[in-house]
Amino acid sequence: MHELALAQNVVQILCEEAGRHGLDRVNAFKLRVGELRAVVPELLETCLDIAGRGTVVEGARVKLETVAGEARCTSCGERFPVAELLFLCPRCDSPGGEITAGQELTLVELEGD
């Protein structure tokens, strides 16, 4: 269950950002989460709630934005969607390539007082 470790890291970042901006409380935040991170959204939200208890993040609303996996073939340059980290290029059947989207876990918005 890596969602708890991710949630703890996110809460730490949120607390640091709140302090940096002079906020006493985080009311809401938005995370961009790549599908290839293998995160269960509901579980991540629960873990964020647990990890945020007793911090400036406690009770904050979270919005998760999912980013689909995408890759670029290093042989032919084709860009295509991927749902797993092991894949073949649909154009030339070359194995692997460069993941260009879907692995992110990014804080994109923060609201507070």
Domains of the chain and any CATH numbers: 2-69+102-112 (3.30.2320.50)
pLDDT given for residue 105 in this prediction: 94
pLDDT score, position 1: 57
Cα 36–chain centre separation:
10
Give the chain's length.
113
Rg (CA), the chain: 17
Contact 39, 72 (CB under 8 A): no
Q: What is the pLDDT of residue 30?
A: 98
Q: Which tens digit of pLDDT belongs to each residue from 19-54?
A: 999 999 999 999 999 999 989 999 999 999 999 999
